[in-house]
Amino acid sequence: MKSFTTRSLNVPFPRKDPHNALAMPVYESVAFEFASAEDIAANFRGELPAHTYSRTSNPTVEYFEAKIKALTGAHQVLALSSGMAAISAAMMAICKQGDNIISGNHLFGHTLALFEQSLSAYGLETRFVDTTKTELIEPLIDKNTRAIYFETVTNPQLEIANISRLSEIANKHGILLIADSTITPPSVFSSKSLGIHVEVMSTTKFISGGATAVGGIIIDNGLYDWNLNPNCQPITAKFGKDAFVARLRKNYYRNLGMPMTAHSANYMIAGLDILELRVERCYQNCMKLGEYFQQNPSIKRVDYPGLKDSPFFDLAVKQFNGVPGTVMTFDLESQAACYHFMNRLKLIRRATNLNDNKSLIIHPYSTIYTEFPEVMRDTMGIRPTMMRLSVGIEGAEDLIADMEHALRED
C-alpha cells in the first residue's frame, strides 16, 4: 500500500479535464447545460447521470468526495456545508419520529445541542451513556434504537472508547455504529477496518489544510445492510447498497440545502495532500510538549492519550496508530494561574478552533462550558484548572519557549 500522501496526490479526476489541468479546477457554476431536451428529460428520470445544479452536485465537490473515497476505501462519500450539516443529515436519514439513538455523553457542544434541542423537537430521542463503559450500552437498546453514536476521542476529556466492542454490540442488535472522527483524521485512522458503518467528520478542522473553510463529510463504509434500517429499507430494492446515500442526497442534502461549495471543496482537496505531513508534525510537537509538561513542576497534570502513562494509550495505539489526534490538556494550580499564563503567551493564540496550523489555547471551563451548571461541568470532567491546547505546526522549541516565558513570574 502506497503512503497516504502518495495516494492523495494521485487520485484520478472522475472525468478528464479538457485542458489537461493538473489541479482540479474550481467549478464556480450553479447550473450545467444539456445538449437536448431529451437529454435533460433523461437526466431527470435518473437515466443520464450528470451535474445539473450545484445544490445537488458539483464537479469540484465530486472530486473531493472521490479523493476521500479512494483514501479511505469507503463505499460512498457525501461532502456537505459543515460538520454539523453532516451530523444532522446523517441522523435525520436514519431516524424518524419515535426512534431513538444511543450516544456518548461527552460530545462536541453543538452535537449535544443538536440531539437535545433540535432533533428532539422532531420526536427523535437520544439516550446518553459513557461509551468507555460498554457494558452500560446494551440495556438501553430497544426495538426503536437505530444507532450507537460516539466520538473517536472526546474533547476536552480525551477519552477513547473500545471501537471493536462497540461494533460487536451494534452488529449483535442490527443497529448502526456511527463515529464522529473529526479529531482523528484518515491518515491515522481507518473507520472501515474497525467495523464502523458510518463516519461523520468536520473537514473544517484537519482536512481544510489550516482553518481555511467550513465543511463536513458523511462516509458510508458499505458494511451495513440497509434493509435493517426501517427508514432506508423502502428504497433498498431500487438502490441496494446505495440506499443510505440515495436517501441522504435527495431528502436531506438537496431538500434542506446543505451542499459544500466548490470553493470550499478546493481547499479540502489541497488540504488532503498535505494532511499526513501536518498531522505528523503536530503529533511530534504533542510528544515534545508532553515531555516538557511532565518535567515542569508548575504543571499539575497533563492529558494526551499518545503519552505512555495515559489510561487510553493502548487503545490509541490499536485504533489510531498511536496518534490519537493532536489536542492535549494540562492543568495549573488555579483558574487565576491559567488566565495569567494565557495572557502572557505571545505565540500560542487564544481561540476556540481545533487543528489550525497555529497552536490554539482555550480555558474550556469559562468559555465552551460556561453555560453549564457547576455539577454538570464537574461530571463532564471540565476542571477550572484545565486548559485545552490544539497543537499546531510551529517549531516545538518555539512553543516551549513561549510557555516557559508565560510561566515565569516576571
Ligand X SMILES: *Cc1c(COP(=O)(O)O)cnc(C)c1O
Contact positions toward ligand X, by CB under 6 A? 82-84, 108, 110-111, 151, 180, 182-183, 202, 204-205, 214, 216, 354
Q: Which residue has the cell 431500487?
A: 238
Question: Smallest distance from the beta carbon of 156 to ligand X, in angstroms?
Answer: 11
Question: Smallest distance from the beta carbon of 185 to ligand X, in angstroms?
Answer: 11
Task: Give the type of residue at 8.
Answer: S
The secondary structure of residue 256, as a DSSP letter, is I
Q: Which C-beta is closer to ligand X: that of 150 or that of 226?
A: 150
Residue ranges of the alpha helices (H) in 321-370? 335-344
Q: What is the dihedral of CA 112, 117, 122, 125, to 10 degrees?
A: 50
| CB distance 223 to 245 below 8 Å | no
User: What residue number has its CB nearest to ligand X?
Assistant: 83
Question: Smallest distance from the beta carbon of 211 to ligand X, in angstroms?
Answer: 11
DSSP-derived 3-state class of residue 362: strand
H-helix or E-strand containing 86? Answer: helix 83-94
For residues 361 and 390, give the distance between their C-alpha atoms in angstroms, rounded to a whole number: 6
| CB distance 247 to 78 below 8 Å | no
Q: Which C-beta is closer to ligand X: that of 157 or that of 236?
A: 157
Question: Smallest distance from the beta carbon of 152 to ligand X, in angstroms?
Answer: 9
Question: Smallest distance from the beta carbon of 183 to ligand X, in angstroms?
Answer: 6
Question: Smallest distance from the beta carbon of 162 to ligand X, in angstroms?
Answer: 19
Q: Are strands 386-390 and 327-331 parallel, antiparallel or unpaired?
A: antiparallel
Q: Which C-beta is closer to ligand X: that of 155 or that of 231?
A: 155
Q: Which C-beta is closer to ligand X: that of 320 or that of 341?
A: 320
DSSP-derived 3-state class of residue 331: strand
Residue 353 φ then ψ, to 5°: -75, 170
Q: Which C-beta is closer to ligand X: that of 178 or that of 354?
A: 354
Q: Which C-beta is closer to ligand X: that of 174 or that of 381?
A: 381
